[in-house]
Amino acid sequence: MLLVLIIAGALWGIGHLMGAPKRARLVMLGLLFAAVLGLHLVLPDGHPVRLATGESAAPWLILGGGVALGLVYRAGLARLRRRAARSEAAAAPVVRGDRFSDAELDRYARHIVLREIGGPGQKALRQGRVLVIGAGGLGAPALQYLAAAGVGTIGVIDDDLVENANLQRQVIHRDRDIGMAKVFSAKAAMLAQNPHVTVKPYHRRLDPEIAEDLFGEYDVILDGTDNFDTRYLANRVAAALGKPLVSGALSQWEGQLSVFDPARGSPCYQCIFPQAPAAGLAPSCAEAGVLGPLPGVVGAMMAIEAVKLLTGAGAALRGEMLIYDALWGETRRIALKPRPGCPVCGG
């Protein structure tokens, strides 16, 4: 056995001196091991070659098994390190250069020629970070247009799965996505639309334990949820952090939209809706129904408000609520004022 180990050492050393790749030297050792093991299995007991190489195949089988376990362990460790490196890279803040590629310049040309956006505005979009709460009716079009517009980092949080009944209005999802988490279906569609953006999916429900840390990573928050607990939570945290909250809502043929930004003088959501309506007074879309294209209209408007907030273009809907009546093709705006004594923003 010692003789074979000396031969193996010599092969490794000679291969190293000749500059042979490590993989090639390992192959040579593997062939040597296979040859010795084969001889022990073929030759009879007492054969001189068997006597010179350890007499029995058992030591070689034990040695081979030990080496195999070591290689498996090493490969598993390397795989874990790669996964950890990918996780760290995903968690690290995205740093984007100042220069657009030719493909990006061509893609965003219609923005860049707009006087109110231009090159600086498109750069602001690229550096912008927007979190969308909900990947359903309102979130779906908002996410699509934010990605298409070139918003650099887009987060989406939702704990739901795609259902067949969603597809009448939640157009970011496809029939083949039924059963998939909405955040992952949305991410796939957004990156297919624009590979130049970063999408961060959070497959979970927004709760008080994570809301503050999560909101702190973003510049603008879009609330496309359909329950009041989440709306009030998003409002409290956004107001506390001074983040503008773009809020949309739907009911049958009507949608409404506003930007709640008490840090800049506008009311917060709870100023306008001090408490949730009693059960039955504000039925959900599943209970009351909703026109399929309506979320697309309001969700696109929410994306527009986010673009204006990031670029400084025009005037965002602070202190105003836009109401759209799809049945009669009417829009109207109503002024909103802070409520004195509001427990969230103090009026």
Asked whether residue 102 is domain-assigned, the answer is no
Spatial distance between the Cα atoms of 148 and 285, rounded to a whole number of angstroms: 27
Spatial distance between the Cα atoms of 281 and 64, rounded to a whole number of angstroms: 73
Asked whether residue 83 is domain-assigned, the answer is yes
Q: At what angle do helices 139-149 and 294-311 cross, to 10 degrees?
A: 40
Residue 72 and residue 15 share a domain: yes
Residue 160 and residue 79 share a domain: no
Residue 84 and residue 112 share a domain: no
Structure tokens at 25: 């030297």
**Residue 16 neighbours by CB under 8 Å, 6+ apart:** 25
Q: What is the CATH number of the domain that holds 220?
A: 3.40.50.720
Residue 41: give the domain boundaries. Answer: 2-91
Residue 111 and residue 87 share a domain: no
Do the bridges between strand 245-251 and strand 220-223 make them parallel or antiparallel, or are there none, so unpaired? parallel
Residue 52 and residue 12 share a domain: yes
Total-model pTM: 0.71
- Tokens 């779906």 appear where? 140
Asked whether residue 69 is domain-assigned, the answer is yes
Q: H or E stretch including 186?
A: helix 182-193
CB atoms within 10 A of CB 212: 13
Residue 217 and residue 142 share a domain: yes
Residue 199 and residue 128 share a domain: yes
Q: Which of 28, 62, 91 is the last residue of a domain?
A: 91
Q: Which of 91, 120, 137 is the last residue of a domain?
A: 91
Residue 244 and residue 188 share a domain: yes
pLDDT in tens, the chain (347 residues): 566 667 766 765 676 677 667 666 666 767 766 776 666 666 676 667 656 666 666 666 676 677 777 777 777 777 776 666 555 544 444 445 568 899 999 999 999 999 999 999 999 999 999 999 999 999 999 999 999 999 999 999 999 999 999 999 999 999 999 999 999 999 999 999 999 999 999 999 999 999 999 999 999 999 999 889 999 999 999 999 999 999 999 989 999 999 999 999 999 999 999 988 776 666 666 667 889 999 999 999 999 999 999 999 999 999 999 999 999 999 999 999 999 999 999 86
Residue 76 and residue 113 share a domain: no
